[in-house]
Structure 1
Amino acid sequence: MQIKTLLNTVENFKSFVYKAVSFEVINGRKALVADIKPRVNAKPECSVCGKRASGYDTQPSRLYEYPPLWGFQVFFRYSPRRAACPVDGIHVERIPWSEGKEQMTTTYKVFLSRWAKRLSWKETAEIFKSSWDSVYRAVQFVVAYGLAHRDLENITEIGIDEIQVWSGHKYLTLVYQLDSHAKRLLWSGPERKAKTLLKFFMELGRERCLRIKFVCSDMWSPYLKVIAKKASQALNILDRFHIMKKFNEAIDQIRREEVKKLKDEGTDNVLEKSRWLLLKRPENLTEKQTVRLSQIVKINLSSIKAYLMREDFQRFWEYKYPAYADRFLENWITRTLKTNLEPMKKVAKMLRNHKQLILNWFKADGRLSSGTVEGFNLKAKLTMRKAYGYKSLECLQTALYHTLGNLPEPILTHRFCG
């Protein structure tokens, strides 16, 4: 089979024909170059209005990179014509395999973007003898197309969270769709301020906001205020993961203070290397860790008291009815406030201040799982590592939409990468 026949099978362009296909040296490497010519009597298409117009002149030939064949880079070579449009004037013609002055074909950009989901952008560039910037442009193109063509209807469940993107408390607010029929990254915005989340709701539109039934979020006050204002009809459920995270932070603070105290007193430090024994769930401990924990809990230490208080609170999530859960929660808060463990008392006050939102978890019948949001966040952090070399927040957002957005791609006649 001739290469021309192969190209006509996978990429046939109306009004254009493949001419000679030959090996040439491009940028110091042997590559396949396919010459493309317009069909006889085929007029150029105006790049502004899309209508056919008389040809004005022909520009010097350009190379457009295409997906590789058998390890060889492939290029289309074409001399663009300028169309003399009676409405829009003289413009370079619209060509079906590329856009504007882009030197990569649309097919090649989609090809690179698919590989960039599997590999880091740097690895993708190295394997296909491209550059990091070219991979970024490819992903950027596919993401822009996807955002413009995605379906934003039937959004009823969302999760809101933030991730730290750079040192120095730089954050990115992330909004996920959590519906059973569509789980994806919906939106991202810099910082974690009220105006950040407000922008999401404004872009989503009033009608779509009114269709939201459930919102899963953490206890960040600016988020809660915006949710109450823009999605007041929705049930706001506080994220179970973030609630238990507050417990772990309190336990760790007590443990660190107690370790220092024991060290200063010269007492045998039984809490040494015990951090993860106290922070992990019992079912996640190894056999060796379980044995050691069973020994430590027999000792009258503040760290152990805090640990047992957390384990006692875990029963809260097992209740079926809000009224019984409320009674348990109030009882736990009252008992905790009578202790001398200040970090745990701080947790108890937090629970009381947000009690109604916490109890919403039962009203929603547990249908929103915080694990879904945390799963997305873990993937987001992995994406950040895979896209190392990103030079701006916009670049990072592009990478996140690409990986987590479940976006539609440009329609191609042939799929080079599944």
Structure 2
Amino acid sequence: MHLALKTLLNRVEPMKGFVYEWSRIRPASKARGRGLAAMPTIEIGLRAHESRQGHCSQCQQPAPGYDTLPERRFQFVPLWGMPTWFLYAPRRLACDACGIHVEYLPWALGKRPVTQSFAWFLASWAKLLSWQVVSRRFQTSWESVFRSVEMAVIWGRERLDLTGISALGVDEIYWKKGKFLTLVYQINEGMKRLLFVVEDRQEKSLRQFFVWFGKERSALIEFVCSDMWKPYLNVIARHAPNALNILDRYHIAAKMNKAIDEVRAQETRALKRLTPGTKVILTRSRWCLLKRPENLTENQAIKLKDLLSYNLKSIRAYLLKEEFQMFWEYVSPAWAEKFMDQWCKKVMRSRLEPMKKIARMIRVHKPLILNWFAARDEVSLGAVEGLNNKLKASIRTSYGFRTPKAIKIMLYHKLGALPEPELTHRFC
């Protein structure tokens, strides 16, 4: 078995200057390492090649040996489902340029007890599963998974290709109590990825992105899709002066839904006061009014049909929202603007204060909303919403990361489309 395993390792994990010397299987009762007592463990011993000097870990130059340190264990990719460890006693070298230092170990990651191959193996699985599941499945610590993903993110972010970026999406997300993240996406056709994550949603938050991105690249941005948050609009106007700023239609729809929900809640409370003890027609009608008609369930569609026969404020607000959907179907911006003006006049006469607030907001931001027609054939304006959905799904499966650092690393890893090194062999 040793010969076959040695042949396999030399093919998938060749070690220049080192030799696979022996291998053994330790029974489950004698297995070592955190969380490994339940399974047999493969241990593989390495030694330095007798005819070659070690290389200094600082300057990578050959140097004579000084002494040998105690044996260390490095976790490798599981073989046949069994936890696998490399065992090696590192040498200290007397380097003329750097002094006494531990030799360079091509499989190691500094003082970490995992090999580079295992770290990249864990990072690849962490894109698909939660870090907790990965640590349990491959019998290692959560810390090892976190450090592996962090390594992959640092490596990829240092080599990120930022050429050809002409369209950005800017958004914020609420990720835990009182905490927001500002997100910047690339939304070019053919490349949609997360570029930048920073805490809070203030002007200084988005400004950090443009400092990182650089003035020259910022001047080349043609389109920026954002919501109506004033701090974002101020920073975009200042740092991307050549970009066409488009207000995201999904945020406008979200604000309309919020206004309708407010009208419904107010009217429900009023009806309950008028008819105490009786069932109000608007009970359990929230999603009937907020969902698009094509997304309603059969019961919700029946409920909405019943509601439409009543002269309710909530129904008037719902019909105004549905009428505004026609705005996005116009081809001519001039006709779209005319429709918008007429719709806003109608809303201002509706005596529905939450909807009137939406109309005033649309009037204030009319030029930015109309920019949508200039950009809809150039960039993927729905990409921000799609990426946000993926982001929220990633946060839901993250089992409650409590630090901004952890959440940023996870999001960059899953949504950043980061480059990876060319490895000798990919294990998954």
Q: Is the 8 A contact 1:162 1:192 kept in 2?
A: yes
Q: Which amino acid aligns with 1:185?
A: L
1:9 is displaced (CA, Å) by 0.8
Moved more, 361-370 or 83-92: 361-370
Name which of 16, 23, 35 aligns with 2:45. 35
Q: Which residue of 1 aligns with 2:332?
A: 321
| Runs of 5+ unmatched residues, structure 1 | none
Measured in 1, the distance between the counterparts of 2:221 and 2:426 equals 36
Specify the alignment match of 2:369 in structure 1: 358
d(CA) in 2 for partners of 1:208 and 1:273? 50
8 Å Cα contact 2:188/2:380 also seen in 1: no
Preserved CA contact (<8 Å) 1:33 1:74: yes
How far apart, in 2, do the equivalents of 1:88 and 1:234 lie?
51
Question: What residue number does 2:21 align with?
Answer: 19
Measured in 2, the distance between the counterparts of 1:84 and 1:193 equals 53
8 A contact 1:56–1:83 mirrored in 2:
yes
**CA distance, structure 2, for counterparts of residue 233 and residue 303 of structure 1:** 42
Cα separation, 1, equivalents of 2:15 and 2:9:
10
The alignment's C-alpha RMSD in Å is 1.4
1:222 aligns with 2:231: yes
Q: 1:135 & 1:341 partners in 2: Cα distance?
A: 53
Q: Which amino acid aligns with 2:104?
A: R
Task: Report whether the alignment pairs 1:115 with 2:125.
Answer: yes
Q: In the alignment, what sits opposite 1:397?
A: 408
Deviation at 1:139, TM superposition (A): 0.9
Find the aligned partners of 2:185 and 2:96 in 1 and give their Cα distance.
47
CA contact (8 A) 2:259 2:358 kept: yes
Deviation of 1:319 after TM superposition, in Å, equals 0.6
How far residue 366 of structure 1 moved from its aligned partner, in angstroms, is 4.4
Structural mapping, 1:203-218, within 5 Å: 203-218=212-227
Q: 1:270 aligns with which of 281, 303, 308?
A: 281
Q: Secondary structure at the match of 1:5?
A: helix
Given that 1:142 and 1:410 are in contact with CA atoms closer than 8 Å, whether structure 2 keeps it comes out as no
Matches within 5 A, 1:240-251: 240-251=249-260
Q: CA deviation at 1:377?
A: 1.2
Instruction: Find the partner of 2:143 among 98, 119, 133.
Output: 133
Instruction: State which drifts further: 215-224 or 20-29.
Output: 20-29
What is the CA–CA distance in structure 1 between the aligned matches of 2:167 and 2:109, rounded to whole Å? 37
Alpha-carbon distance in 1 for matches of 2:9, 2:268: 70
Report the counterpart of residue 155 of structure 1 in structure 2. Answer: 165
Q: What corresponds to 2:102 in structure 1?
A: 92
Are 2:12 and 1:10 equivalent residues in the alignment?
yes
Question: Cα deviation per residue 1:340-389 (whole Å; 9 max; x = unaligned)?
Answer: 11001100010011111000000113444443211211211211122215
Aligned equivalent of 1:175: 184
**1:290 counterpart residue number:** 301
Q: CA deviation at 1:78?
A: 1.1
| Aligned-pair CA distance for 1:326 | 1.0
Matched, 1:231 2:230: no
- Offset, 1:289: 2.4
1:307 aligns with 2:318: yes
Residues 361-380 of structure 1 correspond to what in structure 2 (within 5 A)?
A: 361-380=372-391
Alignment partner of 1:26: what SS? coil
Query: Are residues 1:338 and 2:352 paired?
Result: no
Q: Mean alpha-carbon deviation: is it higher for 387-396 or for 237-246?
A: 387-396
Aligned-residue sequence identity (percent) comes to: 48
Q: How many residues are matched?
A: 416
2:204 alignment partner in structure 1: 195
Residues 305-335 of structure 1, C-alpha deviations (whole Å, 9 max, x = no match): 1111111111100011111111111111122
Alignment partners' CA distance in 2, 1:3 and 1:256: 69
Q: Which moved more, 1:206-215 or 1:265-274?
A: 265-274
Is 1:77 the counterpart of 2:87 in the alignment? yes
Aligned to 2:209, the other structure's residue is in SS state: helix
- Residue 225 of structure 1 aligns with an amino acid whose one-letter code is N
Of 271-280 and 292-301, more deviation after overlay is shown by: 292-301
**Structure-2 residue corresponding to 1:65:** 75
- 1:79-120 per-position Cα deviation (integer Å, ceiling 9, x unaligned): 111222222222212211112101100100111111112221
Of 386-395 and 10-19, deviating more is 386-395
User: Which contiguous aligned blocks of 4+ residues in structure 1 show a shift greater than 4 angstroms?
Assistant: none
Task: Describe the superposition over 1:45-70 as per-residue Cα deviations: whole angstroms up to 9, x where unpaired.
Answer: 12222222222222111011001111
TM-score w.r.t. length of structure 1: 0.96
Amino acid corresponding to residue 26 of structure 1 in structure 2:
R
Q: Secondary structure at the match of 2:382?
A: helix
Name which of structure 1's ranges 252-261 and 318-327 shifts more when overlaid on structure 2. Answer: 318-327
> Greater CA deviation, 45-54 or 25-34?
25-34
